[in-house]
A and B are shown apart, each in its own frame.
Chain A
Amino acid sequence: MRRPSPGKNILWAVLSVPALVTAVRIATQPDLRLDELLHPTGEWAARLMILALMLTPLATIFPRSRAVQWLVRHRRSFGVGAFCYALAHLVVYAIDMGTVTLMLAEFGALGIWTAWVALLLMVPLAITSNERAVRALGRGWKRLQRLAYPAALFTLIHWMFIHNGLVAGLANFAPLILLQLIRIFLVVRRRSGEQNLREKYQ
C-alpha cells in the first residue's frame, strides 16, 4: 500500500477551500437562503471538471512543463473533487425543492434533465476512481474515463439554460474549449507531418 504523497494532501486541502468557505457562510450568515448555496456548489463542480479535462490538452501543448506533469498525475483528484461538489449541489437542490413531486415537475426543463444526465455520467467515473478499479479495468479504464467529455457537455448545457447563464457558463468553459481546439490542431498537424515523412522516405 502506497502512502499518499504530501502533494496529494496539499491538493485536497486546496480543493476543499470552496467547501470550507461555504461552511463558514452557513455558520456565520443565519439568513442565508438555500438557493444561495446552489450556485457556488454547481460552479465548483463544473470548474474542477473543466480543470481535469484541460490537463490532456495542456500536456500536449506543454509536454515538458513539470507543473503540468504534476497536475496530470493528480488529475483523478480533480475529477473526484468535481463529483463531490456535484453531489453537494444535488443535496442542496433536493433540500431546497423539498419534495420529489416538485423535482419531477421540472425534470423536463432543458436546464434540469441535462444536469441529471451529467451527474449520472459521473457516477461510474467516481466509482472507478480507486487504484483497484484502475488495475481491474486495464485499458478499459481510460476508455471509461472519456465519459467525462459528454458529462462536461451536459454540464455546459445545464449551466447555460438553467438560469440565463449563457455568458457565465460559456466563459467558464472557454479555456477548455480553446485548449481542446489547440490540441486537435496540434495532433492533426503532427499526424500530417508524420504522413509527409513516410511518403518522402517510402
Chain B
Amino acid sequence: MRKILVATALTVAAALAAPASATGKMTCNAGPQSGWKSMDALKGDLTKQGWTLTNAKVDGGCYEVYGTDPEGRRVEAYFHPVTFEKLLVSRRGEILFRKQ
C-alpha cells in the first residue's frame, strides 16, 4: 500500500514539474522569431480596431493576447506573428472563433 502511495505521489510531482510552456491551444509555424512582426505592432493594430488589451505573450509560436474585444467580450485570442491573422478567440475555455 505504502509503495503504491509513494509511486503515485512521485508521478503527480513529475506531472506538476513538467514544463508548462506551450498550452497547445494553438500553434503557428511562422518560422524564426527574427522574421516576425513585433508584438507592439500587433497591440497597436488591435487597439485601433477597438480592443482593450491587458496582457500579451507568445504561446505555441503565436502571439496570444488577453483583453476585451471590439464586441465587449472578455477573451483571449491568438494571432499569427507574421500575418497578424486572427486564429482563435476563446472566453473561459469556450471557443468563440476559430479560423477555418
Contact = CB atoms under 8 A, between A and B. Distances in A.
21 contacts: A35-B66, A102-B74, A105-B73, A106-B73, A106-B91, A108-B94, A109-B92, A109-B93, A111-B92, A111-B94, A161-B93, A162-B93, A164-B93, A167-B15, A168-B20, A171-B15, A174-B11, A174-B12, A175-B8, A182-B1, A182-B4
Which 5 pairs from chain A and chain B are nearest by CB? A109-B92, A109-B94, A111-B93, A171-B15, A161-B93
Contacts of A162: 92-93
How many residues of B sit at the interface, in one of the four size bands? 20 to 34
A171 B12 contact: yes
Contacts of B99: none
Contacts of B35: none
B92 A97 contact: no
Contacts of A35: 54-55, 66
Nearest to B71: A105
Interface string A72-87: 0000000000000000
Contacts of A172: 16
A61 interface: yes
B25 A164 contact: yes
B73 to A, nearest CB: 7
Contacts of B92: 106, 109, 111-112, 161-163
Contacts of B1: 61, 182
A168 B9 CA distance: 14
Contact of B8 (A167, A168, A178): A178
Given A167-B15, A182-B1, A175 B9 contact: yes
A33 interface: yes
Interface in A163-188: 163-164, 167-168, 171-172, 174-175, 178, 182
B23 interface: yes
A20 interface: no
A67 B82 CA distance: 58
Contacts of B31: none
Interface string A92-126: 00000100001001101111100000000000000
A163 B93 contact: yes
B24 A164 contact: yes
B75 to A, nearest CB: 9
